[in-house]
Amino acid sequence: MKRSLDCCSSDEASVEQEQQHGPLTKKVKTVSGSSRSIITSRNPVASEDYDTPTSYAQAIYQANGFSSKEVVECCKSQQRTHTPDMIDGYTMELSMACREGDLETVKKLHQAGTNLDCCNRFGQHVLHLACLRGHLEIVQYLVQVAKVDVTIVDDQQRTPLHDACWASQVNFDIVKLIIKEAPQLVLFPDKRGFTPFDYTRQPNWEEWKGFLEIHQHMLALEDKYDQ
């Protein structure tokens, strides 16, 4: 039976989690000058209790002390949208290299001074393209070398994680890399109200929930929240 998840405050979540799972480890952080209690428990949440990857991700976040509303607000406060300079810097050579997984061309263009933080007029970033095509080495280069911020959204408010989950051949290493950079993206809704995991294929849901079960410790805002 699927559990219901309420969007409650941090203090309410703390009490609820303590009742359900026992004592939680907390630490106080300062957000905008105010004191905040953060739950850092790693109490495991069983995947079989939830029907979909999205509901399971919500449960993991709640077990770690964060309501779905809080996660979405965090993400919306940090999201990036495209600028005219990013559109001007977009070239067919770079987009094709990211689409086809041509890492050598991406490196060559970067070394020549090409701005890899660019997108087309619809806001589709080259990182979106690489994630959708499942090219791990391209994604790694864009994020780790070129320092592209993964919180970029296109005109449909989709993040690179949406595309990574939508890919026909899913690369879980890409999903893990994106979540490690910005765990809040897991619950970020696009213009249709769909989270990244809402784009996963139903026959693969057990595999997705298995992935989340292994990496559920990553679903916490902690150090990301104050940035």
Q: What is the pLDDT of residues 96-123, one digit of tens each?
A: 999 999 999 999 999 999 999 999 999 9
In a domain, 107, yes or no: no
Instruction: State CA 57 to chain mean position distance.
Output: 11
In a domain, 213, yes or no: yes
CA distances from 196 to 37, 42, 200 (A): 28, 23, 7
In a domain, 31, yes or no: yes
User: What is the reported pLDDT for 7?
Assistant: 34
Confidence (pTM): 0.79
> Between 211 and 29, where is the model more confident?
211
20: pLDDT strictly greater than 50:
no
Would you give the DSSP letter of residue 218? G
Query: Strand 34-39 relative to strand 26-31: parallel, antiparallel, unpaired?
Result: antiparallel
In a domain, 142, yes or no: no
Provide CB contacts within 8 A for 189, sequence distance 6+. 72, 157, 195
Rounded to a whole number of angstroms, the distance between the first and last alpha carbons of the chain is 37
DSSP string, 64-86: TT--HHHHHHHHHHH-B---HHH
**What are φ and ψ of residue 216, in 5° steps?**
-65, -20
In a domain, 25, yes or no: yes
Which residue is listed with tokens 């405050």? 9
Provide the mean pLDDT of the chain: 83
In a domain, 123, yes or no: no
Which structural domain, as residue segments, surrounds residue 43? 1-79+184-227
In a domain, 1, yes or no: yes
Count of structural domains, the chain: 1
In a domain, 7, yes or no: yes
pLDDT tens per residue across span 57-102: 999 999 988 999 999 999 899 899 999 999 999 999 999 999 999 9
- Count CB-CB contacts under 10 A for residue 24: 20
* Burial grade of 20 (CB within 10 A; 0-12, 13-18, 19 or more): exposed
